[in-house]
Chains A and B, each alone.
Chain A
Amino acid sequence: MLRIENLHVSIKGKEILKGVNLHVQKGEVHAIMGPNGTGKSTLASVIAGKDLFDVTEGQIIYKEKNLLDLSIEDRAREGIFIGFQYPVEIPGVSINNFMRTALNEIRQYKKLPPLTASQFITLMEEKRKVVELTSKLSDRSVNEGFSGGEKKRNEIFQMAVLEPELAILDETDSGLDIDALRIVANGVNQLKSKDNATVVITHYQRLLDYIVPDVVHVLFDGKIVKSGPKELALELEEKGYDWIKTEYEQGLIK
Chain B
Amino acid sequence: MKIQQMAFMLIAVTLFFALVGLFVVNVLFSGLKESAALLEEKNAILLASKLSNSPEFSCGGAFGTTKVNCVDFDKIMALKENIKEYGNSQASFWGVSGIEIIRIYPVAGGNIVCSSETYPNCNKVELLKPSSGTGVSNFIALCRKQAKSDEVYDEEGNFVAAYPYIADVCEMAKIIITYEEVK
Q: Do A and B come from one complex?
A: no
